[in-house]
Structure 1
Amino acid sequence: MMNVATSSLPTVAPGTARTGRSLAALGMVPFVLFALIFLLVPTGLLLVSAFFDRDGAFTFANIVELFTNSAILSSFWLSIRISMASAVGGAIIGFFIAYAIILGGLPGWMRGIVMTFSGVASNFAGVPLAFAFMASLGRVGLVTVLLRDGAGFNLYGTGFNLLSFWGLTLVYLYFQIPLMVLVIAPALDGLKREWREANSVLGGTNFHYWVHIALPILLPSLLGATLLLFANAFGAVATAYALTGSSMPIITILLYAQIKGDVLNNPNLGYAMALGMVAITGLGTGAYIWLRSYSERWVK
Structure 2
Amino acid sequence: MNNRLCRPFLVFIPFFIILGLFQLAPLVWVVINSFINNDGHWSLDNYQQVVSSPFYRQAFTHSFLVSIFSAVAGLLIATIGCASLRHMQGKIRNIMIAFTNMTSNFAGVPLAFAFIIVLGFNGAITLMLRKWGWINSFDLYGTQGLSVVYTYFQIPLAMLLLYPAFDALKVDWEEAASLLGASHRYYWQHIALPVLSPALLGTFIILLANGLGTYATAYTLTSGNYNLVTVRIANLVAGDLFLQPNLAAAISVILMSLLIFITCVNQWLVKRSYHVY
The structural deviation recorded for 1:154 is: 5.3
2:206 to 204, 225, 228: 228
Q: Does residue 109 of structure 1 match 2:111?
A: no
State how 1:115-126 maps to structure 2 within 5 Å.
115-126=97-108
Query: Aligned equivalents of 1:141 and 1:203: distance in 2?
Result: 50
State how 1:79-118 maps to structure 2 within 5 Å.
79-102=63-86, 105-118=87-100
The structural deviation recorded for 1:117 is: 1.9
| Matched residue SS, 1:268 | helix
Change (3 A) 1:298 1:20: farther
Change (3 A) 1:264 1:24: same
The structural deviation recorded for 1:30 is: 4.0
Amino acid at match of 1:44: V
Cα displacement string for residues 115-154 of structure 1 (whole angstroms, at most 9, x for unaligned residues): 11221222211111111000001111111223344xx235
Query: Aligned equivalents of 1:106 and 1:197: distance in 2?
Result: 18
Q: How many residues in Structure 1 have an aligned counterpart in Structure 2?
A: 277
Amino acid at match of 1:66: V
Contact in 2 for aligned 1:122/1:174 (Cα 8 Å): no
The structural deviation recorded for 1:106 is: 2.6
Structure 2: runs of 5 or more not aligned: none
Counterpart position of 2:35: 51
The structural deviation recorded for 1:109 is: 2.5
Contact in 2 for aligned 1:88/1:226 (Cα 8 Å): yes
State how 1:253-272 maps to structure 2 within 5 Å.
253-272=231-250
The structural deviation recorded for 1:277 is: 1.1
Contact in 2 for aligned 1:184/1:225 (Cα 8 Å): yes
Query: Aligned equivalents of 1:201 and 1:215: distance in 2?
Result: 19
| Matched residue SS, 1:236 | coil
Contact in 1 for aligned 2:168/2:195 (Cα 8 Å): no
TM-score scaled by length of structure 1 = 0.86
Change (3 A) 1:86 1:264: farther
Amino acid at match of 2:193: L
Query: Aligned equivalents of 2:172 and 2:183: distance in 1?
Result: 15
| Matched residue SS, 1:118 | helix
TM-score scaled by length of structure 2 = 0.93
User: Among the aligned pairs, what percent are the same residue?
Assistant: 35
Give 1 or 2 for the bigger CA radius of gyration.
1
Change (3 A) 1:265 1:27: same
Query: Aligned equivalents of 1:172 and 1:233: distance in 2?
Result: 7
Q: Does residue 38 of structure 1 match 2:22?
A: yes
Counterpart position of 1:135: 117
| Matched residue SS, 1:163 | coil
2:59 to 68, 75, 79: 75
Q: CA RMSD in A?
A: 1.9
Change (3 A) 1:283 1:116: same
Change (3 A) 1:20 1:203: farther
Contact in 1 for aligned 2:79/2:159 (Cα 8 Å): yes
1:247 to 225, 240, 255: 225
Counterpart position of 2:133: 153
Contact in 2 for aligned 1:144/1:154 (Cα 8 Å): no
